[in-house]
Amino acid sequence: MSTSVRHSYPDIFNGIDLSGAKILIVEDDKGAGNTLMLLLQRFGAVPLLTRSVSEALVAIHTQIFDVILLDFQMPRLTGFNFMEILRLHPDPAVSNTFVIAITTQVDDKDRILASGCNMYFSKPTNPPEFLKSLTKVIEELKNGAIANRVI
């Protein structure tokens, strides 16, 4: 006889479904990156965690992602460097990837969005709010309702 474990979540997480969404996480903080990866997996996403812009650049050349979650305060190459390279990529499936900035740089929000990010969240994020927004983005991408625009 086998038993299955059912996870129950507070009502604030109702409606969150990231099933099959391929999400690249670019986060140098080990704790934040691991937490984000586990949270996304819990709701069905298929995340790949990279710890530097250099690792993320390798990842975008080997697979296509639905969404990229990008920390802008990275050592050496920054989120700004990543966005410049991403948006100039010759393959539109890569260059048009939906990018969500997740950063503590609240004073740079306008500059971050102007770099080509589609959405912005400040750290620390509110997990239910963040996951509901991400679910909406994934649904709209699947339905073709959004392309590369700022939300």
pLDDT for position 126: 86
Domain range holding 48?
A: 16-141
| Number of domains forming the structure of the chain | 1
Q: Is residue 118 part of a domain?
A: yes
pTM of the complete model: 0.88
pLDDT-based confidence at residue 143 (cuts at 50, 70, 90)? confident
Q: Is residue 112 part of a domain?
A: yes
Phi, psi of 60 (to 5 degrees): -70, -15
What is the C-alpha to C-alpha distance for residues 76 and 144, in angstroms, rounded to an integer? 35
| C-beta separation of 113 from 122 below 8 A | no
H-only helix segments in the chain: 30-42, 53-62, 79-87, 92-95, 109-114, 127-143
Q: Is residue 70 part of a domain?
A: yes
Q: Is residue 34 part of a domain?
A: yes
Tokens linked to 34: 């691991």
Q: Is residue 147 part of a domain?
A: no
Nearest Cα neighbor of 70 from 20, 35, 104, 107 is 104
Q: pLDDT digits over 87-138, tens only?
A: 999 999 999 999 999 988 778 899 999 999 999 998 888 888 899 999 999 9
Q: Omega of the bond prior to 124 within 30 degrees of 0, cis?
A: yes
Q: Is residue 146 part of a domain?
A: no
Q: What is the CATH number of the domain that holds 112?
A: 3.40.50.2300
State the average pLDDT over residues 8-20.
75
pLDDT-based confidence at residue 150 (cuts at 50, 70, 90)? very low
Q: pLDDT digits over 45-93, tens only?
A: 999 999 999 999 999 999 999 999 999 988 899 999 999 999 999 999 9
